[in-house]
Structure 1
Amino acid sequence: MKLPGGSAVKYLKILVFILIITIIGYSFYSQQYLLTCFMLFFLIYFGYICWKKEEYRKTSNFNRRALYGSNIVLFFIFLIFMRLVQIQIFEREFFQNKVMGQINKTDILSGNRGTIYDSTGKRLAFNKNIYTVGINPSAIYDRTNTMNGIVQILNQDFIIKDKAVLLEEIKRGYEAGRKYKVVAKNITEREKEQLDAIVKKYGLTGHEIRFDRNIERTYYKNDVYDNIVGFIGYNYKSNSEKIGLFGLEREYEKYLKQKVLQRQNFYTRGRSIKLPIAKEFIRMNLNGNNIYTTIDNEIQFILSEELKKKFLSSKSDEAYGLVMDPNNGKILGAASFTTNKNKALRNPLFQNQFEPGSTFKPIVVASAMDGKLITKDTLFDVGNGRITKYGHTIRESSRSTRGVLNTQEVLKRSSNVGMVLIGDKFTDAEFEHYLKKFGLYDKTGVDFPGEIKPYTVPYKKWHGLKKSTMAFGQGIVVTPIQLITAFSAVINGGVLYKPYLVEKITDESDIIIRRNIPTQVRRVVSEDISRQLRGILEDVVADGTARRGQVEGYRVGGKTGTAQLSGKGGYLKDNYLASFIGFFPADKPKYVILVMFLKPKGETIFEKYGGATAAPVFADIVKRITKTKNILSQDISNITEIKEVKSGEANGFVDIEMPDLTGFSPKDVIYIFKNTDIEIKIEGAGLVDKQFPAAGTSLEDVKEVRIILK
């Protein structure tokens, strides 16, 4: 049976409606919301067409065609609308990311690593900006002017690559669609300024050329400071960022390190213009902090030069030197040299241990005097220069050391037997107690990475000979920094200070954010004992084993050391650590200096001893420091004090005498009369040979002093 035509169409419409509703339900259930919306709008559109059907029948052919045409246009508008819905609602995040990818750029902002200065403000480690120049081959042919600018850049003298080769590589990069090509590396700040002028002239954009900044760490006199300042580099923890690996660069990494900041900025497509946004960023200081060390550049240079001079002439395996202010622990100079070109990454001043030898004796003597076990006049019979302890014979280093010596003479002659007898005054517990008081059982705490702790054994485990050998500096191992720190406590008034290398840390505005102040660890000996030791050690230099450490016109004190080096089978014959530790001025020490030479060579044994090798270096260092720092000699200091004498009992007139200038330098003479109105006239060259007026003459009416040099 056939259904009427109208009924068939009607049922077909119903089926279509049911099908659309079914699709809408299924798509909604399966979370295909775009299809759900499309079918929903299609259902509305289909219902609209069905609703308008009767109107189509009743209208004229022209109107009918117009209605059909409008429905077709409406259908395409419907499709456009659905596409907009898809983009703006359902695929909004996808297209938003596409747009942001074209205009968004992550800018990495980084500051400069902090600068390291010496105590006078001289830069020891600082930053230098260098640049890598790269171009975009795929963009430089877009504008004629762009290529002209690139050619001008390639024509600069500091672009060392061949220009023709570069142009050919750029052309091939353009054809291959490459986005980046390096044309120059290690461009300095001044060279970049020249390139910036060309970029500005030809209107080159950041899309066409870019300058990638790198920071090159630069070190002042690296051969002098490398073992203290250190260096930066990469390691497995640095994440492709340079960090401090050694020295102060490592110790103060958290202060020196620059900050790195990532920010999202918006640009035009060519990256040439930054788009303004409402979001505000807080300005941040990204630079690292600056460090001011206690190192004095002048003293460091003097120490390094004199130490190296003797290191080479004595053909030593290694040499070490330290200069410290004994009154606060400031390290003013630190240097070391070695013949081992494959040396490990270490600073021997803080990380190598040695038996100190006789330089250790003042510490033992000060301990015994402080413990009231001896006085400076206590007598010791060293006999024929030999003593046997626990089956071992200990001998004097000099055959002339015989008979009865007092404490002062024990140090003056560097008597080993005398020191053994002083050591016998202690119990083992007392001896260990003083070693601990002098900090020889712990690290000094110096602000340098990798300081090693002294190797120590509790006194209950000492063998019988242990205390006797330690008394004259063998059987105990210390680092140079531990030795000079302990010795400073002997001569500075009896206080042990913590040594340090950094004075203060400041930000870029020179605001101090940290300051290292002198740290008193403990009192070790009394002020009176310290004063007595200064006098004894001054006498050691004046008339003892350290005579080569004398400096004419200055009061200095000190002690030589010659320690025999040990090996696997015992002590090595004719292999020594020659050393000298001294201080000046002797009455009020401002500088304490330690110099050590490992295995010095010489034709005679004496040339390998501390008195012959190390003491003269100390003297040369002191001479140069006094000149550099304008430290008056003891003689000049005495002369500059006004001498008042009575010229006659009748009137009681007070007069000033002309000093004896013979042997002084012109510089010293000028200094003496600097606060007077007397004119100084100098003739000749050299030192003062004659003077007018003569010594002892009244200076009351003198307007001119004439000196003749020879």
Structure 2
Amino acid sequence: MNVSHKIKKGRIVFVLFVFLVLITALIARAGWLQMVEGNELKSAALAQQTRDTLISPRRGNIYDRNKKELAVSIQYYTISACPENMHKLKQDIEGIASMLSQILKTDESEILKKLKKKDSQYQMIKRKVDKEVTEKIKAWIKEKKVQGLNFDEEPKRYYPAGRLAAHVIGFTNFENQGITGIEQAMDKYLKGKPGKILSEVDAGGQGVMPGESKVIDVKDGSNVVLTIDEVIQDIADKALSEAISQYKVVNGGTAIVMDPRTGEILAMVSKPDFDLNNPSGAPEGVNKAKWKGTSENEVNFLWNSIWRNKTLAEPYEPGSTFKTITAAIGIEEGLVTPETTVNDFTFRLTPNSPKIDCHLPNRHGVESFRLSMYRSCNPVYAKLSQDIGIDKFYGYMRAFGFYDKTGLDISEESLGIFQQKPTNLDMAVASFGQRFTINPLQLITAYSAVANGGKLLKPHIVKEITDQDGNIIERTEPELVRNVLSRQTCNTLMDILLGVVTDPNGTGGKAYVKGYGVAGKTGTAETTKNINRLGLPDVAKQFNVAWSAPIDYKDTERYVASFAGMAPADNPVISILVTLDYPNMIQHTGGVVAAPVAGKIIEETLEYLGVERKYTERDKKLIPKEYMVPDVRNMDIEKAAAELKKSKLEFIKEDLGDVNNTKVISQYPRPGTVVRENSFVTLYMYKTDNPVMVKVPNLSKKTVLEAINALNDIGLNIKVNGEGFAVSQSVLPGKEVQKGYEIGVNFETDSNIQD
């Protein structure tokens, strides 16, 4: 008994000892866990016991300079499911899948496949669902007492203006992250910081204490206000689009409008463009039947063509627009004045060197430096470059910023190509804008320095950043990079460039605007197909994208036509650059195709800005006096004639030979019509439903006076546009119109103009 008792006691002691050892070990382990791994395990436990609901921040808006919305965020929803809970709660999986597919218009089998994943706590059903559809689903689940579906708010980006300023604004990806343009460059300001709702859940993922949630506040994104003016952007966009269509431009073009006083960009257009609300949509020219917009090749095609901002990412040879820079150097260094005698004779560095000729070799002969700019004579600038010298010439090119990125807020800028060790021949050709490349923004920045008196300003496109209440967080101020020219040089150069547009010898006459002195220079640079200058069909072929647009596309004889300038010349408020990449027609020069685009943009922009016109004597001569046609019906012919005479108008009497009827029954043009001085009004002395008709003559190549006489002789009126010789008319020759009808006729000066 004692032995047995001892044995039992020993066993008890042993069990107690083991129990104590285990308890001690557990306590030690717990202490170690608490002291050493406590934070990690606490986080793990919290993650297991809570369900995070992410609160997406509202992405900031993008505005134009007048606070017009260019990019906004609209609330959408992500619909997700917790299949694990649905199965535990014995939900009707098939019925839920069927109803969701009907409302969401998605594949029922795909939804069912996700809902059947019993062990999954999260399956995304659909993203970017609008509020109306979401409310319909919520009403259905409330009615049917469906559990396990979640609705998370998320913003979707919307662009009210569609294609307008597409390359400037840029767009976001599926995660609402900016990937191009301002959306990408200013993403850190626009995106904000997400918030969270941390809710406790049990092992099955169900909430255990409703209302006991921890909220991490969301921080909405800031707004970005651009220097872009939506109205000026639209003016430039429409003018460029019309030119691309009219001149059959293959590779699109660019238009930039800048305020030279501040460096603010008022408009930046790059064509071709795209719809910001559907950036992967089928571009013009591709085979739409084969286009999906999602393949690797298609996306690469978009990145390398349609989405590419040509104003920044496509350096080009500036051609004769660069003569302005060469002239500026020559004037600044005291090597030439406007009246310096020069000549356009063939230039060679050595007897064996390539010859440099004017576009019309030796036609101009001896002339003033001023006229050489008007006529755009290459040899004059090649010779001047040799007087300047390589070090000084390329030193000025660096000073003008051609070797550096401008530092624009958008990060897509590409630098051009220069010879690392330029020779005298390289410099001679560079003097008129060839054998090197720069981007369009660099050139307009340099022109703006000429316009503002010699200050190279850093261009910018972001005006300010504001919070959601409109309070300014950051503001961009004008930034001087360096002084590059004296004001005297700039004034002299501005006077020369004004003549390029206003003088009959100038190549820029098509940019002329009455009342607004436009100063500028034309340019035409021949390019070839190479890796840096691939056209749209080339890029499509490179990425195996089906191209359907029929076009006679050459590997050589591709030209970039351009016009760079500023206005008004006496006090510039805008600088402008227009480029057209490969106009596929005989008349492909900057003076013919780019200058009129620039003139149109300048006129409409200055009118919009309220800049007062200042008419020169030449302007006044070109402004026709116009009068309103008075109502002379039911008047005697003598009285009607007197009334028309008061309004400086002539008349033609139609009476069918009935001299007894002296009352005017009807007239054409109708009362209230505004017509040119000395226009004809046809007076009908009888009631008729068949007015007198006449055939429109062919006015081609007639002078203004000849055209006026040709039309007036048969009782037609004229609306004169331009000077020189008739190149087009509003009504085709041979077509019949009513006597008294006004024919619009466009006139142009002698266009043996190459630049």
Pairing partner for 1:352 from 302, 314, 320:
314
Q: CA RMSD in A?
A: 4.3
Distance 1:579 1:638, change over 3 A: closer
1:363 partner SS: helix
Match status 1:19 vs 2:11: yes
The equivalent of 1:669 in structure 2 is none
Pairing partner for 1:389 from 349, 359, 377:
349
Distance 1:298 1:111, change over 3 A: same
Larger-Rg structure: 1
Task: State the shift of 1:242 in Å.
Answer: 4.5
CA contact 1:564–1:572 (8 Å) conserved in 2:
no
Pairing partner for 1:244 from 169, 173, 178:
178
1:395 partner SS: coil
The equivalent of 1:662 in structure 2 is 625
- CA deviations 1:115-160 (Å, max 9, x no partner) are 222222222222222224456678789999x99xx99x95998543
Task: State the shift of 1:560 in Å.
Answer: 0.5
With normalisation by structure 2, the TM-score equals: 0.66
CA contact 2:258–2:265 (8 Å) conserved in 1:
yes
Task: State the shift of 1:373 in Å.
Answer: 1.9
2:182 partner SS: helix
- Provide the C-alpha distance between the structure 2 equivalents of 1:99 and 1:369, rounded to a whole number of angstroms: 78
Pairing partner for 2:605 from 622, 625, 637:
625
Match status 1:406 vs 2:406: no
CA contact 2:82–2:149 (8 Å) conserved in 1:
yes
Task: State the shift of 1:478 in Å.
Answer: 0.9
Distance 1:270 1:426, change over 3 A: closer
CA contact 1:534–1:586 (8 Å) conserved in 2:
yes
Question: Identity, % of aligned pairs?
Answer: 28
- Provide the C-alpha distance between the structure 1 equivalents of 2:214 and 2:412, rounded to a whole number of angstroms: 45
Task: State the shift of 1:499 in Å.
Answer: 0.9
- CA deviations 1:596-638 (Å, max 9, x no partner) are 1122122x3xx11111111111122223324444444324999
CA contact 2:64–2:227 (8 Å) conserved in 1:
yes
CA contact 1:355–1:475 (8 Å) conserved in 2:
yes
2:165 partner SS: helix
- Provide the C-alpha distance between the structure 2 equivalents of 1:410 and 1:98, rounded to a whole number of angstroms: 80
1:302 partner SS: helix
Matched residue count: 569
Distance 1:340 1:182, change over 3 A: closer
- CA deviations 1:185-229 (Å, max 9, x no partner) are 643124434555666x75958x54321333322233443333222
1:120 partner SS: coil
Match status 1:220 vs 2:160: yes
- Provide the C-alpha distance between the structure 1 equivalents of 2:530 and 2:208, rounded to a whole number of angstroms: 73
CA contact 1:496–1:524 (8 Å) conserved in 2:
yes
- Provide the C-alpha distance between the structure 2 equivalents of 1:96 and 1:441, rounded to a whole number of angstroms: 57
Pairing partner for 2:577 from 583, 594, 597:
594
- Provide the C-alpha distance between the structure 2 equivalents of 1:140 and 1:575, rounded to a whole number of angstroms: 65
Task: State the shift of 1:595 in Å.
Answer: 1.0
Task: State the shift of 1:547 in Å.
Answer: 0.7
With normalisation by structure 1, the TM-score equals: 0.70
CA contact 2:256–2:577 (8 Å) conserved in 1:
yes
- Provide the C-alpha distance between the structure 2 equivalents of 1:260 and 1:182, rounded to a whole number of angstroms: 19
| 1:415-426 paired onto structure 2 within 5 Å | 415-426=377-388
Match status 1:374 vs 2:336: yes
Tell me which amino acid in the other structure corresponds to 2:436: I
Distance 1:485 1:128, change over 3 A: same
Pairing partner for 1:363 from 315, 325, 339:
325
- Provide the C-alpha distance between the structure 2 equivalents of 1:523 and 1:99, rounded to a whole number of angstroms: 64
Tell me which amino acid in the other structure corresponds to 1:11: V
1:228 partner SS: helix
CA contact 2:198–2:214 (8 Å) conserved in 1:
no
CA contact 2:195–2:217 (8 Å) conserved in 1:
no
1:554 partner SS: coil
CA contact 1:380–1:421 (8 Å) conserved in 2:
no
Distance 1:664 1:549, change over 3 A: farther
The equivalent of 1:504 in structure 2 is 464
The equivalent of 1:299 in structure 2 is 232
Task: State the shift of 1:580 in Å.
Answer: 0.7
1:541 partner SS: helix
- Provide the C-alpha distance between the structure 1 equivalents of 2:55 and 2:529, rounded to a whole number of angstroms: 56
Tell me which amino acid in the other structure corresponds to 1:258: G
CA contact 1:446–1:500 (8 Å) conserved in 2:
yes
Task: State the shift of 1:253 in Å.
Answer: 1.9
Task: State the shift of 1:497 in Å.
Answer: 0.7
Distance 1:98 1:433, change over 3 A: closer
The equivalent of 2:73 in structure 1 is 127
1:126 partner SS: strand
**Greater helix share, 1 or 2?**
1
Distance 1:15 1:496, change over 3 A: same
- Provide the C-alpha distance between the structure 1 equivalents of 2:77 and 2:310, rounded to a whole number of angstroms: 37
- Provide the C-alpha distance between the structure 1 equivalents of 2:78 and 2:191, rounded to a whole number of angstroms: 22
CA contact 1:161–1:183 (8 Å) conserved in 2:
no
Task: State the shift of 1:578 in Å.
Answer: 0.9
Unaligned runs of 5+ residues in structure 1 are 1-7, 37-91, 235-240, 640-659, 667-681, 691-709
The equivalent of 1:696 in structure 2 is none
Distance 1:664 1:139, change over 3 A: farther
Match status 1:612 vs 2:592: yes
